[in-house]
A and B are shown apart, each in its own frame.
Chain A
């Protein structure tokens, strides 16, 4: 089974965009019952993809009297590392396989206050450690575009949930690529907000200095609708910024006329074949009135080192809490990947090694920050491929201790510096039905700029598979 390029079908409301569905509900052209029936059917039909770990069977009953709210009772899938009160939250690890949170994460609280309904919890790489969803303790998720391939990760379940039309939008989280890379591999939109824009409260912690929750959606507009509801200052997360949330949906159609866009990493030899495929697509920005040119940036190969060291160090500290005492089943339950990361992190922070590894990594992080500062002094936006190539085949992570770090190489520079980024589909191989994604990066807090470019690109090209939904 392979899902064709065009997802949208007029008779199947699960294949509508969130924006269209919302409008149809307001105009009473459809009922919530019809939407949930279609969603339930889609979930049942894609059970073999292992997208969901848990479902809320009461979802439909929770939608009552929500139609005047921004998310209007709409079904939204949530990555299983967000604590949901009363609904099992495992982070795809055996350590938490019995954990029923007694509290709700801020992001899912906001989502529900806006009328959104959590239909289920989606699979991820255990603890979000990975870029394949293959390291989940509960089995891998398959890519709905082609079942022989991986969906990417760590938010692979959420990206697959959107690609398979089992929800109208989903929530993911990104530490270094975990929203944008699975979105690219599954041919959907992923919006990684600026670090500190969305609260980490109630999200199972991975690397606290880069963890950023954000939406995965069918279109840029849908991602913006969800973003507006989940972003904002949170007194329970002291790293969230006390800034007003931009109304991205009002910025969507402002276009990109006269914007200056820098093209990143097109000079890297091993990426030539992928960049060649999207040459024509990059020219679309010129047609839309922007100016795009290749730029020289700090080699992303160095970001692999920074990310690997910083992430493992923060993991070793964050996962120290799982001692099998308060709410988890203890350290004997960790899978191979988590053990590796905790132990290597412990090593890079240890006396005698910390200067050589941890401190050096944080210094190179400064170099990346300076490099972006210089680039953004000249350019409004920066773009690159999201992933070096197409989705990898099932089983590709076996024996590859650095699989994710290499697949996320082009996203790590912006992640370690906290910048916002957006993935939009920009190419599809008609034989394999697999996609390439374009990564659009903006300066800190300028999500408005990147979604303008993403939306303009989406409208001007035919790569979005919900594009016929007008």
Chain B
């Protein structure tokens, strides 16, 4: 996941990390529409959550490798074959779509949105 994100080191140090601009920026990245008043509430909730997790820095992890997964499995392969018994029909695939057009999904416009 590569997200372009402007780091403000002064802000990282400050007491209140989440200004409203940062919350709005995260909301945009996560494509979460926010209602009026929600931004302030989220800022204070994030603040209190990060306070709870701040104790992690008490531990020395300088020589520790991260654990991203707990199973011992690596590089699990399968044959690249199509199982026709599992395929959805076009109708099945479209059955839950909120909007469709001529047998296709209708997607939101993302280019030239104005």
Q: Please give me the residue from chain A that is nearest to B70 by CB atom.
A: A418
B111 at the interface (CB under 8 A from A): no
Nearest CB of B to A388, in Å: 15
- Which residue from A196, A305, A327 sits with its C-beta under 8 Å from B97? A327
A460 at the interface (CB under 8 A from B): no
CB distance A344 to B95 under 8 Å?
no
A467 at the interface (CB under 8 A from B): no
With A325-B105, A343-B32, A364-B56 as known contacts, state yes or no: A239 contacts B88, CB within 8 Å.
no
CB distance A238 to B76 under 8 Å?
yes
Interface SS, B side: loop
Nearest CB of B to A71, in Å: 24
Q: Please give me the residue from chain B that is nearest to A305 by CB atom.
A: B53
B interface, size bucket = 35 or more
Interface string of B2-38 (1 = CB under 8 A from A): 1111110000100000000001001101111110001
Residues of A within 8 A of B97 (CB): 325-327
CB distance B33 to A366 under 8 Å?
no
CB distance A327 to B96 under 8 Å?
yes
With A350-B26, A366-B65, A401-B45 as known contacts, state yes or no: A331 contacts B3, CB within 8 Å.
no
A interface, size bucket = 35 or more
A67 at the interface (CB under 8 A from B): no
- Which residue from B4, B73, B78 sits with its C-beta under 8 Å from A235? B78
A324 at the interface (CB under 8 A from B): yes
A330 at the interface (CB under 8 A from B): yes
Nearest CB of A to B43, in Å: 11
CB distance B5 to A302 under 8 Å?
no
- Which residue from A209, A332, A345 sits with its C-beta under 8 Å from B70? A209
B57 at the interface (CB under 8 A from A): yes
Residues of B within 8 A of A305 (CB): 52-56
Nearest CB of A to B48, in Å: 6
CB distance B52 to A365 under 8 Å?
no
CB distance A102 to B1 under 8 Å?
no
How many cross-chain pairs have Cβ atoms below 8 Å apart between A and B? 164
Nearest CB of B to A83, in Å: 11
A263 at the interface (CB under 8 A from B): no
CB distance B1 to A349 under 8 Å?
yes
Nearest CB of A to B15, in Å: 16
B82 at the interface (CB under 8 A from A): no
Please measure, in the bound complex, the distance between the C-alpha atom of A137 and the C-alpha atom of B7, giving whole angstroms.
35
CB distance B49 to A301 under 8 Å?
no
Q: Please give me the residue from chain A that is nearest to B105 by CB atom.
A: A325
B71 at the interface (CB under 8 A from A): yes
Q: Please give me the residue from chain A that is nearest to B77 by CB atom.
A: A238
- Which residue from A102, A323, A359, A367 sits with its C-beta under 8 Å from B88? A102
A196-B73, A302-B58, A304-B52 given; name 19 further pairs at CB < 8 Å: A102-B93, A196-B70, A241-B72, A305-B53, A306-B56, A308-B53, A309-B56, A339-B38, A343-B23, A344-B49, A345-B30, A346-B26, A346-B30, A360-B57, A363-B65, A363-B66, A364-B56, A366-B66, A402-B49
| Leading 8 A-B pairs by shortest Cβ distance | A352-B7, A418-B70, A362-B66, A327-B96, A305-B53, A363-B61, A238-B76, A346-B30
A residues touching B (Cβ–Cβ < 8 Å)?
Answer: 98-100, 102-103, 195-196, 209-210, 235, 238-239, 241, 301-302, 304-306, 308-309, 316-317, 320, 323-332, 334, 339-340, 342-347, 349-353, 356-357, 359-367, 369, 401-402, 405-406, 416-418
